[in-house]
């Protein structure tokens, strides 16, 4: 089955700096890659996703890039703010799951310091 | 308010005592899913359902049962809980690919099996 590795496990940045979280996946057939943000005591919430026919997607301060050849994708957060502090999870979904069978990475604890 | 609700939010039980965690959504979503979250392991999918009476295994289905008799409800059943099922459980729902694969997560159920 699919295996997703996520790095780093913890990331500390100064407010206003950029943060990058990287994930690699094992199943070359996977075609859907979401990113979820989990605030303390809450369930995860989708912040951005990308499909395999697209190389990059942006939404304000957040962007995701996908390299299908290398089987890795990354989350980029620019101009970080204290409210960006949370745990971020990447995930991958194989075609058979239709985007609904998700394998998650192990998470990155992002801390934005004032 | 559109939401996914889970009950109970906290549960302490003993090995072998059958339990059910309920999940309900009011968004008329086709898709529902259960995950467990463990430190260092991220989120792992237990079961998911694309529609009433249709369920599929995720990555860690052993020791769990689900049923989807109604569109809005997707209970998770542990027939004989064991200590290794101590975890934080999340239910999620979504459109299931009709335009979006976004999953909406509930607040979580923290289960302790002694």
Neighbour tally for B60: CB within 10 Å: 18
Show the beta-strand stretches assigned E in B8-96: 10-13, 19-25, 31-38, 42-51, 54-57, 65-66, 76-78, 87-94
Task: Give the residue ranges of DSSP H helices in A2-98.
Answer: none
Q: Please check the confidence at residue A1 and state whether its pLDDT lies above 70.
A: yes
Neighbour tally for A79: CB within 10 Å: 11
Selection from B37, B21, B34 nearest residue B86 by Cα: B37
Neighbour tally for A67: CB within 10 Å: 11
Residue B103 near chain A (CB below 8 Å): yes
For the segment A10-53, what is each residue's pLDDT rounded down to a tens digit? 999 999 999 999 999 999 999 999 999 999 999 999 999 999 88
List chain B residues with CB under 8 Å of A89.
42-43
The gap from C-alpha A81 to its chain's centroid, in whole angstroms, comes to: 17
Residue A25 near chain B (CB below 8 Å): no
Q: Please check the confidence at residue A99 and state whether its pLDDT lies above 80.
A: no
Q: Which residue of A has its CA nearest to B60?
A: A103
Please answer yes or no on whether B33 and A89 come within 8 Å at the CB atom: no
Q: Please check the confidence at residue B7 and state whether its pLDDT lies above 80.
A: yes
Task: Please tell me which of the candidates B31, B41, B101 has its beta carbon nearest to residue A34.
Answer: B101
Cis peptide before A8 (omega within 30 of 0): yes
List chain A residues with CB under 8 Å of B55.
none
Residue B39 near chain A (CB below 8 Å): no
Q: What is the pLDDT of residue A26?
A: 95
Q: What is the pLDDT of residue B98?
A: 63
């Amino acid at each position: 089955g699919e295996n997703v590795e996520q790095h780093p496990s913890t990331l500390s940045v100064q407010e206003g700096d950029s943060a990058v979280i990287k994930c690699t996946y094992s199943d070359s057939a996977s075609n859907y890659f979401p990113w979820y943000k989990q605030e303390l005591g809450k369930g995860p919430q989708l912040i951005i996703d990308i499909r395999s026919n697209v190389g990059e997607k942006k939404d304000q301060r957040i962007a995701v890039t996908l390299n299908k050849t290398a089987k890795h994708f990354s989350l980029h957060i620019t101009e970080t703010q204290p409210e960006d502090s949370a745990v971020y999870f990447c995930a991958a979904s194989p075609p058979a799951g239709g985007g609904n069978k998700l394998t998650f990475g192990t998470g990155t604890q992002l801390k934005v310091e004032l | 308010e559109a939401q996914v609700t889970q009950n109970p939010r906290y549960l302490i039980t003993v090995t072998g005592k059958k339990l059910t965690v309920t999940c309900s959504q009011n968004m008329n979503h086709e898709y529902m899913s259960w995950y467990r979250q463990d430190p260092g392991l991220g989120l792992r999918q237990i079961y998911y359902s694309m529609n009433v009476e249709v369920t599929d295994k995720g990555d860690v289905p052993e020791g769990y049962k689900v049923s989807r008799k109604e569109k809005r409800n997707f209970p998770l059943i542990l027939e004989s809980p064991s200590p290794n099922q101590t975890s934080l459980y999340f239910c999620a729902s979504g459109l299931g690919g009709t335009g979006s694969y976004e999953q909406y997560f509930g607040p979580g159920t923290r289960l302790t099996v002694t």
